[in-house]
Structures are given as structure tokens and as C-alpha cells.
Amino acid sequence: MLESPPVAIVMGSQSDWPTMRHAADTLDTLKIDYEARIVSAHRTPERLVDFATRAKTDGFRIIIAGAGGAAHLPGMIAAMTPLPVFGVPVESKALSGQDSLLSIVQMPGGIPVGTLAIGKAGAINAALLAAAVLALSDEDIADRLDAFRREQTESVALFPADEG
Ligand code: RP5
């Protein structure tokens, strides 16, 4: 088994990175290692098969997959690995990501993809879910996740402020 980081962040295109980097930033905040790769279900299908079939033996434990439009990437990865796959629908230009969402969420029974919200919130939450899974067997990550939640709660003002 090779020593990959616990989380793989994969995306269908370079154009997905501005969304998917929010997952990466969140993992950085929690000090969780990851590797980010471009894997296109349609443009690089052999790369997809290679990645998905080897992901577990490479040492990854969780896969976060983001794609837009005809977003087959998360589902195809899930079809080829037993690892948990979290899907992030990237906001598409033509249909505002509703196409991405429906492409990812409507998996047939038997091959699950945990589907998040469209766009930035989905990318952040995919990373937080990945952290929560890892926290089940890693007390340091559990402590950092607890601290993150505590700080988030404390940062919410009681009263709204005027902007500007
Ligand atoms: C999908 O097509 C990608 O995930 C991306 O969201 C979308 C558009 O890709 P580009 O044409 O910008 O490379 O496969």
C-alpha cells in the first residue's frame, strides 16, 4: 500500500477548482492532508478508472469529487471503489448547477454518493464530513473539528452591524 493522504479531492476540470479549493481550504484549516487532482469522467476516462480502482490501495480513505453539468464523476468513482465518496455539484453556467446536482444525487440503490449542496457550501461541507469520518478514529482530528465548530459558533454576532 502506498502512502497517500487520507483525502482525495478530485474534479472534472480546472474550471472546478475555484469551487473545490474551498474543500481544500477547509481541510487546511483542520490540518488534514489531501491530494487534489483533475480527473474527467468524459475527457480522461482511463485516468478515472486508474484513479478509482487504485484509490483504496493507494491509501486514500475518503474521496471528495466535484463536477458540473453532466456530472458523472462522483458516481463513476463510487462504482469502482468501496471508499466513501462525497459529491459536490459545481455551479454550471447554463443551469446554475441544478444539472450537476441532479446528475450526482440520483444514484441507483446500491452505489451511494453522499451529495452536498451546489457550489462553495457543498465543497466546505464535503470537507467537514470527511473530517467527521476521520474523527471517528483520530482524536486529534476530533479535537480540531470540535474547536472549529466552537469558534464558528462564537464568531456569530448577536446583533447585525451596518455594512461598509
Ligand atoms: C465537467 O464539465 C466539469 O466538471 C466542469 O464542471 C464542466 C465544464 O468543464 P470545462 O468545459 O470548463 O472544462 O466535466
User: Residue 25: inside a domain, yes or no?
Assistant: yes
Q: What percent of the chain has pLDDT over 70?
A: 99
User: Residue 160: inside a domain, yes or no?
Assistant: no
Instruction: Name the β-bridge partners of 8.
Output: 35, 63
pLDDT grade, residue 163 (50/70/90)?
A: confident
Q: What is the pLDDT of residue 1?
A: 55
Q: What is the pLDDT of residues 82-97, one digit of tens each?
A: 999 999 999 999 999 9
- As a whole number of angstroms, the distance between CA 30 and CA 135 comes to 11
Q: Decide whether any atom of ligand 1 lies within 6 Å of the 69 Cβ.
A: yes
- As a whole number of angstroms, the distance between CA 41 and CA 117 comes to 21
- CA nearest ligand 1 atom 7, residue: 68
Q: What is the pLDDT of residue 33?
A: 98
Q: What is the pLDDT of residues 6-61, one digit of tens each?
A: 999 999 999 999 999 999 999 999 999 999 999 999 999 999 999 999 999 999 99
Task: Indicate the number of domains in the chain.
Answer: 1
Q: Decide whether any atom of ligand 1 lies within 6 Å of the 16 Cβ.
A: yes
Q: How much distance in Å is there from the Cα of 147 to the middle of ligand 1?
A: 35
Residues in the chain: 164
User: Residue 30: inside a domain, yes or no?
Assistant: yes
Domain boundaries, position 110? 7-154
> What mean pLDDT is reported for the chain?
97
